[in-house]
Structure 1
Amino acid sequence: MITALDHVQLAAPPGSEPALRTYYGEVLGMTEIPKPAALAANGGLWFACGPVQLHLGIDPDFRPSRKAHPGLRVVGMEAFAARLAGHGAEVVWDEKLPGHRRFYSEDPVGNRLEFLEPIE
């Protein structure tokens, strides 16, 4: 029986760790967590925010994920969107999901990300 989602992994090109560290750590406000020693040699980065983990794995044949994406729930949607836009990230609002405010953006290597907040 599946009880929870442990993490989501996105691919990234070799050498992109500095840009990803800035984006996921400073812009999104996630905390970088250490990778296990046996996996650290592969490169990439792991981030967490509360129980949510996002892993970025290095792929020499990287192609950004333009359709598949993680959906990240946020609090304070307007301020969060302004924060991303203030760092130069494109924010594309989408009103198609009933009961939610949401927008799409991309990380520095072109992976699609969805940010959403339930309407109460």
Structure 2
Amino acid sequence: TPYMDEAERADSVAFIHEGKLLLTGSPGAIRRSWDRKILEIFCDRNRAAMPVLSRFYPKGELQIFGDRVHLAMLQDGPEEDEVVRCLEDAGIRVKSSGPVRPRLENVFLSMIQKEAAVNG
């Protein structure tokens, strides 16, 4: 299925991108294998937040989901209050923020971003 919410309920999934098999396993095992934690941020200007967050934490992976930004950070990444302060210092109002459990979509997008960076 191309729908990640359906894939979350499957016993086993396979990530395929541009005809290439990237990963297989149970949804839980795939999420646990990912080395990132996610900070979900609701702010008044998502697109403007992206370059600010990129400069603040270059090791982060950024994903926009509608009215939210997901900052996927290494486990030893910055604290939530540091991220919020960075955005507010740039004139971006943060409505709310907090950690969220990684979803398959986060892992899949991360894999595609890494592959694009390697392959140009």
Q: Is TM > 0.5 for Structure 1 vs Structure 2?
A: no
The higher-RCO structure (CA 8 Å, 6+ apart) is 2
Q: TM-score, normalised by structure 1?
A: 0.30
Q: TM-score, normalised by structure 2?
A: 0.30
